[in-house]
A and B are shown apart, each in its own frame.
Chain A
Amino acid sequence: MNKKNGDFQKRLLSTFRAEADEHLKNITAGLIELEKDLDPQVKAGIIETVFREAHSLKGAARAVNQTDIETICQSLESVFSALKRQEIDPGPFMFDTLHQTVDILNELNLSSPEGVRTDKAKLAGIIEKIAKVETGQTDVLSGLPEHPAIQADDIVRRQERMPSDTIRISVEKIDLLLRQGEELLSLKLMADQHSDDIHDLINMFEVWQKQWSKIYSTICEFRRLQERNDKQGKKRRKDDKQNYKVLEFGDLTHDNMKVFESKLIELRRTGDRHRYTTALMVENLLEEMKKILMLPFSTLLEAFPKFVRDLSRDQGKDIELVISGEGIEIDRRILEEMRVVFIHLLRNAIDHGIEKPEVRLRNKKSPRGKIKIMVTSMEGNKVDILLSDDGNGMDMPALKDAAIKRGIISLEDAAKLTDQDLPAIVFQSGVSTSPVITDISGRGLGLAIVREKIEKLGGQIVLETHRHTGTSFRMTLPLTMITFRGLHVTVAEREFIISTTNVEKVVRVKHEEIKTVENRDTLSLSGMTIPLLRLADVLELTEKNGDLPMMTVLILESQGKRVGFIVNEVLNELEVLIKSLSQPLTRVRNIAGATILGSGKVVPVLNISDLMKSAAKAAVYGPKPDRPEANGEVTRKSVLVVEDSITSRMLLKNILETAGYLVVTAVDGIDAMTLLKTEKFDVVISDVDMPRMNGFNLTEKIRGDKKLAELPVVLVTALESREDKERGIDVGANAYIVKSSFDQSNLLEVIRRLV
């Protein structure tokens, strides 16, 4: 046991050596670049790179308990950070010191783990020197930087390290290899098919052989008769010769069949062996390939402490991120997908979960909030990830109200919801209790995306929240990309795959069984009324043959809802590996991805939650939806745009008019107030920084006015500071969008939510 642990430590350390070497090389390269006369912008980029390298090295050193390296990196990091903020000017003294530092780090990295031979005085010296650099001192240059001669044992050590047992390969190359490996699956399927064909052939042959053996005895009887006739010396007739020919052919066939039989049996044997070995080889290869693609969680998580620090500082909060189990390895592709998930959840925790220090103190909590990420291995090739915060928890009654308000659940349903059911609605799109929409969160889309991502990976997520004590998300994920079982269906002459887990059942329905309730097709199934849709309609396709007298209906179940979808035909059930669509297809409605069948054909995989949403949409407009725009001017919402810059004004007007809103513009707050008194608007979008009356004052005025108090106000601003954002919230704005992150869909989504 102890030995095993020691081995692991050794392996870990050698991994660290390789990593440290890489970081140091990059820092050196960066430093060399920085000394050149470069464009400030390019320089800033390099500073950022070396800063990150030093930071990563520090983190890695801490993980393997290399405290000397960690301490030096800490100092290095602060120098780079000061450089970033342009607090110090780079000079020759700085570069010399930094290069020396890297040399020492290299030396430390090379020294054997048993005996740390770098003397402490040297370390203290360099740290002191770095501190001087950081405070901007340009110390007397003590001649040339000392370059100690490489000692003999140094050389030996270097040589010992030469044969490395790790190599770096670009992800692109590995992916290509994996893709080709996956292609071999079709070879396996072909071998299966081949083997099945041989078995079929043998079955056919056996039937034939049985029939033959029956007729052959008759042939033998016939021959005996013929021969007896000959012996009795009866006169030969003309057709006797032909009789013998037929008899001879019979014998030949009989012999040939025996040869055929043994050949076929031999073929079956080789076919089966071929099938078996191909399957074994392909599966082993893929298994090994999957292992190559495994990366520790740390590769993703190591960026988060800084992310949390920056974001919480920006929010005026003090938050510590504790990570454990980051050494557990998982498929790189899953890790890649999880990046978004972690960012969403961490943002939520920082923005909504953890309270400000003063609030925490008042609630008798430590002023510093804590977010934990715990990764633990589970049985059955799975991993469990717990992301928890010790914040104020979610306000469940408020969430319930929000869900009712957004029409996600009906009042009756809401009454039936138990405390266990409540967390599930958080994952519904558009549920948010945040009174103000900021760029970080509050639009209620985050958790819906999180759930979608995790389900797509074949995982699950559950939420537990307690008022005032915190919120935790528990996620279970497979360690490797798993294959899904999917139903292969045809709709309007096209093929699709639907994940079997969401298919409750497949039923055959007569046309007369469909009933129209409230202008909608429904189906009665064991006492329940289920809404029914044509999958072709949802997918914007047209079924050429129209409705058949007998229809195949898939009953899909998701989030407690059931909907029936009419398909043309269910071909079979398959095991498929879902691949994500790549750029330019970032997200396609109703499509989750695609898979490659054994034949090499690409088949789209349907997105169940999108299908359910489409079904819900169809419910609003009836089975044959009239376009909502067709209702004309009556429903068009009007927007007041308040903006002093003519360019921004035109831009906003253009965006909003394209989206179908009626737009009136005002040049500042006073102008806007005048217009608000005479006309009726559904929402006000205002700039903050304006002459005469700014956006904050305008918002205050609107809130102070009895008639206008309920009017939604969106502040669009170039100011990106916490104080301003808070000021916006204080004066009563409904949303606050920073121009730097301003994009059309964001703005339109916010307006759609508010009006």
Chain B
Amino acid sequence: MKKKKNQSDRAFEKSESIIAKPFEDTPEEKRTVLRSRAKRLSQEIESKGRDEEYFEVLEFLLAHETYAIETPFIREVYPMTEITPLSCTPAFVFGLVNIRGQILTVIDMKKFFDLPERGITNLNKIIVVRKDAMELGILANEIIGIRNIPVNGLQPPLSTLTGIHAEYLKGVTGERLIVLDMERFLTDRRLIVNEEVET
């Protein structure tokens, strides 16, 4: 009985010393511990970042082809609601849509890039993209999802891959996913409608 008590006493002393220890650390010791922890943490992230750099894209279906847009250009994806066609505009202007009180122009990329219409496709999503003051909706058949693409996995585009001219393409992944160059597209002067009635 006495022995047993001794044992538990010792165990108690031990745990007490463990509990008390951090409080006994000198500021110097604490700093060392923290510094080594910080070093460990920083190294881990560094090694992760060096090997693979990714960028995020939204993958979608348009005219039976899969395309991708970098997510920084995307404001939101909106379900297709009532679209008002607009007269006296080029064919690529599909119409106007009301997104929470904002009137937004919806563009049909098939018309803009002169892609062949292959059968009936069900357009049911609007991808809202923007760069500076330029803000518009792009018609899409279906949203596939968001995924990460390794930066160095992007190859220069081949114009034979799709009907879209190579200058509007950022690149093609190994799985032949076509990444559109939104920067180029949204700053294209051909996109701007500015017409007066001629007299």
Residue numbers in A under 8 Å from B103 (CB-CB): 579, 581-582, 594, 596, 602
**Cβ of B198 < 8 Å from any Cβ of A?**
yes
Q: A539-B88, A590-B87, A604-B87 are in contact. Are A585 and B97 (CB under 8 A)?
A: no
- Known A182-B101, A581-B105, A586-B192: A591·B86 in contact at CB below 8 Å: yes
Q: When the two chains form the complex, which single residue of A430, A579, A588, A602 contacts B89, counting CB atoms closer than 8 Å?
A: A588
A587 and B195 form a contact (CB under 8 A): yes
Report chain A residues within 8 Å CB of B136: 583-584
Indicate if the CB atoms of A591 and B88 lie closer than 8 Å: yes
CA A582 – CA B99 in complex, angstroms? 13
Note all chain B residues with C-beta closer than 8 A to A180: 100-101
The chain B residues found within 8 Å of chain A, CB to CB, are 81-82, 84-89, 93, 96-98, 100-105, 107, 133-136, 191-199
Q: Which residue of B lies closest to A596 (CB)?
A: B98
Residues in chain A near residue B85, CB distance under 8 A: 494
Question: Which A residues have a C-beta under 8 Å from some C-beta of B?
Answer: 179-180, 182-183, 429-430, 494-495, 539-541, 579, 581-591, 594, 596, 600-604, 610, 613-614, 616-617
- Which 8 A-B residue pairs are closest in the complex by CB-CB distance? A179-B101, A586-B194, A589-B88, A183-B101, A613-B197, A539-B87, A602-B84, A602-B96
Q: Which residues of A contact B191 (CB under 8 A)?
A: 584
When the two chains form their complex, are residues A540 and B100 in contact, meaning their CB atoms are under 8 A apart?
Answer: no
19 other contacts beyond A430-B199, A582-B135, A602-B98, with CB at 8 A cut-off?
A: A183-B101, A494-B87, A495-B84, A540-B88, A583-B133, A584-B136, A584-B191, A585-B93, A586-B194, A587-B194, A589-B195, A591-B86, A594-B103, A600-B81, A600-B98, A601-B84, A604-B86, A604-B96, A613-B199
| 22 intermolecular pairs with C-beta atoms under 8 Å apart | A180-B100, A183-B101, A429-B199, A430-B199, A495-B84, A540-B87, A579-B103, A583-B134, A584-B193, A585-B86, A587-B193, A587-B196, A590-B87, A591-B86, A594-B84, A594-B103, A601-B82, A601-B98, A604-B84, A604-B96, A613-B199, A617-B197
Cα A590 to Cα B198 in complex, Å, equals 11
Nearest Cβ on chain B to A579's Cβ, whole angstroms: 5
Q: A541-B87, A587-B193 are in contact. Are A617 and B97 (CB under 8 A)?
A: no
Listed residue (B85, B87, B192) with the most chain A CB atoms within 10 angstroms of its CB: B87
Residue of B86, B89, B98 with highest tally of chain A CB at under 10 A: B98
The interface residues of chain B lying within 8 Å CB-to-CB of A596 are 98, 101, 103
Q: Tell me the nearest residue of chain A to B188, going by C-beta.
A: A584
A603 in contact with B84 given A585-B105, A587-B194, A613-B199 (CB within 8 Å): yes
- Chain B residues near A581 (CB, 8 Å)? 96, 103, 105
Which residues of the partner chain A approach B133 to less than 8 Å between Cβ atoms? 582-583
Tell me which residues across on chain A come within 8 A of B195, comparing CB atoms.
Answer: 587-589
The winner among B97, B133, B193 for most chain A CB atoms within 10 A is: B193
Using Cβ atoms and an 8 Å threshold, which residues of chain A touch B199?
Answer: 429-430, 613, 616-617
Closest to B88 in A: A589
Considering only CB atoms, which chain A residue lies closest to B89 in the complex?
A588
Give CA–CA (A600, B84) in the complex, Å.
11
Smallest Cβ distance from B96 to chain A, in angstroms? 5
**Contact status B193-A588, CB under 8 Å:** yes
A616 proximity list for chain B (CB < 8 A): 199
- Could you tell me the distance between the alpha carbons of A586 and B189 in the complex, rounded to whole angstroms? 11
Q: Please indicate the chain B residues that have their CB under 8 angstroms from the CB of A430 in the complex.
A: 199
CA distance A581 to B98 in the complex (A): 12
Complex Cα spacing A648 to B194, Å? 25
Across the two chains, which residue of chain B brings its CB closest to A601?
A: B82
